[in-house]
Amino acid sequence: MPITVVRLRLFTCSLIFIFLLSGCGRFGGLSKTMEANYLKYRIEYMDKMAGDIPTRFLPAQMDSYYTKHFVLTRIEGLFNQFSLIQIADLKRKKVTTLLNFFGNRVFYKGTHGELPAGIKELEQMEYRLTGDKSVIGGLNSERIEIDTGKEQFDIYITRDFSVRQPNIVTPYHTIDSPLTDFPIQLSKLKMHLSCIGFESKTVESELFKVPENYRSVSRLEMEEIINSLFTKE
C-alpha cells in the first residue's frame, strides 16, 4: 500500500478519534450550553383554596425557557418544598413531568403528542386572530379569541421570537406562536398566567435533563399525586 494512502488513513482515524473525544461530556449530542428565550409569568389563581391549601401560599411565578430543542416550564414554592417542571423534547414531541413535593421526587415521561400529566385538555378549540395588539412583559403581543364550545375567552401570543411547537406543554399546542397571557388548569387548580419579563440568556443543557434522584412513575400515579396535592379528596 502506498505510504501516502497509509498516512491519509491514519490522519482520518485521528480526526475521528478527536471528534469522539470532543463529544464526550455533551448532553444528548448537544453542546453544554444553549441559547434560550426566557419568560417569567405571574400566576393568578382563580380560587382562594386548592384543597386544604390557601392559594395565596402557592407559587406566584412560573419560569419558561424556549430553545431550539426544548421548552421547559418550572413552578417552585411552598418554602422550597414543591416544584413542578415540564420538559418538552421538541424533536420527539414528548413531555417529561417532574414533581418534587416535600422531598418526594418523581417523574413521568410522556408519549408522543401527549399533554403533560395533570394538565386539563380542552375538548375542542376554535380560535380567531383578532389583530388587536398589546405589549405584555415587554413583548409585542396579539389577542386571540378562543371558543371551546362551552366558553369564550382571550389569550395573547407573541411573534417577537419563534420556536417550533412553543405551546406543546399547554392545551393550546396547535397555536404556533409563544403565549404571553393565557388561562390553564392543573388538576382542579385553575390559573391565569401573564408574562411579566423577557430576556435572552445562555443556559446549561443539564437544565433539560432528569436528575438521577428522581424515580419514574406511571401517568396514573403522577396524576394521582398531583390531584392529592390540590384537592380535598
For residue 126, the cross-strand partners are 147
**What's the whole-number average pLDDT of the chain?**
89
Residues 6+ apart with CB under 8 A from 121: 115, 171
The answer to whether residue 151 scores a pLDDT higher than 80 is: yes
Q: What is the mean pLDDT of residues 68-82?
A: 91
Q: What is the mean pLDDT of residues 220-232?
A: 88
Please report whether residue 21 resides in a domain: no
Query: What is the C-alpha separation between 196 and 42, in angstroms, rounded?
Result: 6
pLDDT tens digits for range 89-120: 999 999 999 999 988 999 999 999 999 999 99
Please report whether residue 198 resides in a domain: yes
Residue 28: what pLDDT? 52
* First vs last C-alpha separation in the chain: 78
For residue 152, the cross-strand partners are 147
Residue 11: what pLDDT? 47
Please report whether residue 63 resides in a domain: yes
Number of domains the chain is built from: 1
- Single-letter amino acid code for the residue at 80: N
Please name which of 167, 94, 92, 99 lies closest in space to residue 127, comparing C-alpha atoms. 167
Q: What is the mean pLDDT of residues 182-203?
A: 97
Query: What is the C-alpha separation between 81 and 113, in angstroms, rounded?
Result: 30
Domain span holding position 101: 33-230
Residue 23: what pLDDT? 41
Please report whether residue 84 resides in a domain: yes
Please report whether residue 23 resides in a domain: no
Residue 191: what pLDDT? 97
Q: How confident is the model at residue 29 (pLDDT cuts 50, 70, 90)?
A: low
Q: Provide, rounded to the nearest whole percent, the portion of the chain with pLDDT above 90.
A: 77
Please report whether residue 19 resides in a domain: no
Q: How confident is the model at residue 53 (pLDDT cuts 50, 70, 90)?
A: confident
Please report whether residue 8 resides in a domain: no
Most confidently modeled range among 10-19, 212-221, 222-231: 212-221
The answer to whether residue 25 scores a pLDDT higher than 90 is: no
Residues 6+ apart with CB under 8 A from 137: 39, 40, 41, 180, 194, 195, 196, 197, 198
Please report whether residue 12 resides in a domain: no
The answer to whether residue 146 scores a pLDDT higher than 80 is: yes
Residue 16: what pLDDT? 43
Q: What is the mean pLDDT of residues 183-203?
A: 96
Residue 17: what pLDDT? 42
Q: Which cell goes with 189?
A: 387548580
CATH classification of the domain holding 148? 2.50.20.10
